[in-house]
């Protein structure tokens, strides 16, 4: 005997479930592209292209978090859905993986991401990327790396293994509780084990930490930055966001800091409580800087 369908009681649940069912209607995925090989290690990226969209399209380079040190599979499984809302805005998503501290210490992750950024520019025509509208974002250490992608250029010494080509550009950066001063995380009172592990026992560790700190590179002419941070973040002190905001203001760089008084270091908690605010701020930022119209 069959069961009669019952009416749904949770309207929001139904809407959320239905929207996730439509996720793949938004995207044509191209997974597991190897953009760089280092010995036997393969650095990969996944491309998600909005369906029924004419090329070229704006593109977001999404760099996952995980303390610079989580295993590759864990990073992909836990972070791949975070950039998916950009598809609904007609933006191509490029989800980038990189070598973490369980493979090699800093600054290898920065070098890998610079390589991936150059790969995006070099392959723009094939995949329909509009690199004049290239957003870089991530969460936590993904935002540390995203800020570095927006602030660095070839003279800073992270592109030595990259193929030759024009200097890659970044149009804007969205920073979601990113580390802006890695050296600050190596000493008390803000010492964090994940940062210590990434820098390791290199004799010039403090110098390396400053090289991978976005605050080191603040200067006029950088791309605009939108920063989200929580005042109760126990993993990355909110002072990192405040100091970046102040430094960018001093340099005359367009930027905005959005602080949440009771938010900790958790992307899911952010979206659960501040989803509407987060979405409104992101869309306004992208329109203001003509990433989308």
Reported as a pLDDT band with limits 50, 70 and 90, residue 274 is confident
Indicate the number of domains in the chain. Answer: 1
Please check whether residue 92 lies inside any domain of the structure.
Answer: yes
Whose tokens are 């920063």? That residue is: 227
Task: Flag whether pLDDT at 54 surpasses 50.
Answer: yes
Please check whether residue 160 lies inside any domain of the structure.
Answer: yes
Mean pLDDT score of the chain, rounded to an integer?
88
Please check whether residue 105 lies inside any domain of the structure.
Answer: yes
Q: Which domain CATH number covers 116?
A: 3.40.50.1820
Please check whether residue 5 lies inside any domain of the structure.
Answer: no
Task: Flag whether pLDDT at 16 surpasses 60.
Answer: no
Residues 267, 118, 108: CA angle, nearest 5 degrees = 65
Average pLDDT over residues 31-36: 94
Task: Flag whether pLDDT at 8 surpasses 50.
Answer: no
Question: What pLDDT score was predicted for residue 19?
Answer: 58
Average pLDDT over residues 55-77: 80
Would you say 101 and 68 are in contact if contact means Cβ atoms under 8 Å apart? yes
Question: What pLDDT score was predicted for residue 7?
Answer: 39
Please check whether residue 261 lies inside any domain of the structure.
Answer: yes
Domain ranges, residue 196: 27-288
Task: Flag whether pLDDT at 239 surpasses 80.
Answer: yes
Task: Flag whether pLDDT at 95 surpasses 60.
Answer: yes
Whose tokens are 């094939």? That residue is: 126
Task: Flag whether pLDDT at 157 surpasses 70.
Answer: yes
Secondary structure of the chain in HEC code, one letter for each residue: CCCCCCCCCCHHHHHHHHHHHCHHHCEEEEEEEEEEEECCEEEEEEEEEECCCCCCEEEEEEECCCCCCCCHHHHHHHHCCCCHHHHHHCCEEEEECCCCCCCCCCCHHHHHHHHHHHHHHHCHHHHCEEEEEEEEEEECHHHHHHHHHHHCCHHHCCCCCCCCCCCCCCCEEEEECCCCCHHHHHCCCCCCHHHHHHHCCCCCHHHHHHHCCHHHHCCCCCCCEEEEEECCCCCCCHHHHHHHHHHHHHHCCCEEEEEECCCCCCHHHHHHHHHHHHHHHHHHHHHHCCCCC
Please check whether residue 115 lies inside any domain of the structure.
Answer: yes
Please check whether residue 233 lies inside any domain of the structure.
Answer: yes
Task: Flag whether pLDDT at 55 surpasses 90.
Answer: no
In the structure encoding, which two tokens stand for residue 41, read together?
């290690």
Reported as a pLDDT band with limits 50, 70 and 90, residue 51 is confident
Mean pLDDT lowest for which of 79-88, 91-100, 128-137?
79-88
Task: Flag whether pLDDT at 3 surpasses 50.
Answer: no
End-to-end Cα separation, the chain, in angstroms: 54
Question: What pLDDT score was predicted for residue 73?
Answer: 56
Task: Flag whether pLDDT at 1 surpasses 50.
Answer: no
Question: What pLDDT score was predicted for residue 71?
Answer: 60
Whose tokens are 């070839």? That residue is: 154
pLDDT 10s digits, 161-212: 898 889 999 999 999 999 999 999 999 999 999 999 999 999 999 999 999 9
The pTM of the full predicted model, rounded to 2 decimals, is 0.90
Average pLDDT over residues 74-87: 73
Please check whether residue 293 lies inside any domain of the structure.
Answer: no
């Amino acid at each position: 005997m069959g069961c009669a369908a019952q009416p749904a009681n949770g309207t929001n649940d139904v809407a959320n479930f239905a929207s996730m069912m439509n996720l793949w209607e938004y995207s044509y995925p191209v997974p597991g592209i190897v953009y760089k090989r280092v010995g036997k290690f393969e650095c990969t990226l996944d491309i998600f292209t909005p369906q029924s969209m004419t090329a070229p399209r704006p593109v977001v380079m999404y760099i996952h978090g995980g303390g610079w040190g989580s295993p590759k599979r864990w990073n992909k499984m836990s972070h791949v859905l975070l950039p998916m809302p950009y598809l609904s805005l007609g933006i191509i998503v490029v989800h980038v993986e990189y070598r973490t501290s369980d493979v090699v210490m800093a600054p290898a992750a920065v070098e890998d991401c610079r390589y991936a950024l150059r790969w995006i520019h070099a392959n723009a025509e094939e995949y329909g990327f509009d690199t004049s509208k290239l957003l870089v974002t991530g969460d936590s250490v993904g935002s540390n790396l995203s800020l570095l992608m927006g602030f660095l250029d070839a003279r800073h010494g992270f592109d030595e293994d990259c193929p030759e080509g024009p200097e890659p550009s970044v149009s804007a950066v969205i920073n979601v509780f990113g580390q802006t001063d890695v050296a600050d995380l190596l000493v008390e009172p803000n010492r964090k084990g994940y940062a210590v592990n990434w820098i390791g026992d290199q004799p010039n560790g403090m110098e390396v930490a400053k090289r991978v700190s976005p605050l080191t590179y603040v200067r006029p002419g950088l791309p605009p930055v939108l920063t989200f941070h929580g005042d109760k973040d126990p993993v990355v002190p909110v002072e990192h966001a405040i100091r970046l905001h102040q430094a960018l203001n001093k340099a005359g760089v367009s930027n905005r800091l959005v602080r949440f008084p009771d938010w900790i270091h958790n992307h899911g908690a952010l979206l659960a409580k501040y989803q509407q605010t987060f979405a409104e701020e992101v869309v306004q930022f992208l329109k203001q800087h003509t990433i989308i119209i």
